[in-house]
Amino acid sequence: MSSFGYGLVYTEENIRELIEKILIPPLALFSLHVQNRKNHALIEISLDRLDHKTGSASLEDCEEVSKRLKEELDLWGEDFNFTLQVSSCGAERELRLPEDLDRFQGLLAKLEVRGESGNWEKLVYRLGPRQDEMIELTPFDRKSAKKKTAKPIQLSLGEIRKGNLFLEY
């Protein structure tokens, strides 16, 4: 890739295209943030590993992507000064709704759901099957987890505002 010229602001779109070219499945881009400052860019990348139970990329995955991306960005010319940070989206990653509800079925998730009072509450559930706009969720409580006493509930996707995977300890 040739240099884009002095003084050009390198866009998130340009960098996203470059990342998409170098990523090899099962690695995928989870998030990208580019902060352009005077004569410098901060590039923060979070990776998703599509074949991992929680989507966590390994340290080796992050190092390899960082190395390959740095090599490509260096081709943009000496005028492009940047700091590159590559990480995994993590085992307690943010969920993309509704598709991640299907992907992580069977795992625990801390979901922000509308409670009976109408207020938003953060509760932990085991994700069950989803059918159209409804999902089966089993409330999780560490104390009663061994007893398997919790009964699944059906919840509308509209009653879920956001969520993250939740690790069992």
Residue 7 has pLDDT above 50, yes or no: no
Per-residue pLDDT reduced to its tens digit, 106-151: 999 999 999 889 899 999 999 999 999 999 999 998 776 555 678 9
State the burial class of residue 16 (Cβ atoms within 10 Å of its Cβ: 0-12, 13-18, 19+): middle
Helices (H), 84-169: 99-103
The percent of residues above 70 in pLDDT, for the chain, comes to: 91
The percent of residues above 90 in pLDDT, for the chain, comes to: 76
pLDDT of residue 144: 62
pLDDT of residue 78: 82
| Distance linking the first and last C-alpha atoms of the chain | 47
pLDDT of residue 145: 54
Per-residue pLDDT reduced to its tens digit, 34-47: 998 888 899 999 99
- Of residues 169 and 145, more confidence is placed in 169
pLDDT of residue 79: 80
Per-residue pLDDT reduced to its tens digit, 52-87: 999 999 999 999 999 999 999 999 888 888 999 999
- Write down all domains in the chain, each with its CATH number in brackets: 12-88 (3.30.70.1350), 99-165 (2.30.30)
pLDDT of residue 15: 94
Contacts of 72 (CB under 8 A, 6+ apart): 1, 18, 21, 22
